[in-house]
Structure 1
Amino acid sequence: MATPAKDPGHVRRRGHRRRGAEPARTDPPGAEPAASPDSATELARDLESGHPGWVILWRRWARRYWAFPLWIANAPEPIEAGHVQDLLAQMSDIELQHSPPATNG
C-alpha cells in the first residue's frame, strides 16, 4: 500500500508541504536575501533614527517592515514592505503627498 507522500498519483493540496520541508520562498526573483531577525530589528532602529517623524518596526513573525508617519493627523494605514528599499520608496511617496514637518538640525 502506497502512502500519500510516496504515491505518485497523490496531489498535495495547495499551500501544504511535506512534513519537514522548507517553506516556499515568496521573495521576487533577484531580491536580496532576507535579513536575520536581529539585524532587521537593528536596521529598523537605524532607519527610524535617520527619518524623524516616522516610527519604523520590524515585524519578526511576518518578516516585514512597518512604517508609521507621525505628522499626519488622519494617517493612512501603515506602510509595509519586505525589503528596506521598497519601504524607503513608499516613505518618500508619503512625504511627497504630505510634507513632513521641518526638522531643527
Structure 2
Amino acid sequence: MLDFKSFAPEETIAQVDQANREIAHTIQARSPGWVVLWSVWRRRFSAFGCWTSAQSVIIDAVDAEELIREMQSIMVENWHQSERHA
C-alpha cells in the first residue's frame, strides 16, 4: 500500500501552478508568434504557433526547458523551409 504522506511536496499544488503560469507568461513574452500556457488539468506546458502555416503547430511538454527546445526546433525547421521556398 502506498503511503501518500511520503509524497507530500514542500510546495502546494497551487504554488506550483502559479509558478508555472508565470513561467509560461515569460516564455510567451520572449517568443513572438507563440501563445504559451500552463495547463493545470494536464500538468503540462503548451505552445501554439500563431503564424500562417499549412499545418497547426502545437507543442506539449512536461517542463519549460523541453518546451523551449521544441519551440526553437520548430522555428529553425520553419526558417529552413522558408529559405528553400524563397
Normalising by structure 1, report the TM-score: 0.58
Letter in 2 for 1:64: R
- Equivalent residue runs for 1:1-105 within 5 Å: 21=4, 36-99=16-79
Moved more, 34-43 or 81-90: 34-43
Is this contact kept in 2: 1:69–1:75, CA < 8 A? no
Q: Deviations over 1:27-75 (max 9, x none)?
A: xxxxxxx970001001101110111110001101111000011114233
Is this contact kept in 1: 2:49–2:57, CA < 8 A? no
> Would you tell me which structure has more helix in proportion to its own residues?
2
Distance 2:48 2:26 in 1: 15
Gaps spanning 5+ residues in structure 1: where? 6-17, 25-33, 100-105
Give the number of aligned pairs. 72
Tell me the C-alpha RMSD between the 2 structures.
Answer: 2.5
Gaps spanning 5+ residues in structure 2: where? 8-12, 80-86
Runs of 4+ in structure 1 deviating by more than 4 angstroms, as ranges, are none
> Would you tell me which structure has more strand in proportion to its own residues?
2
- How many percent identity over aligned positions? 26
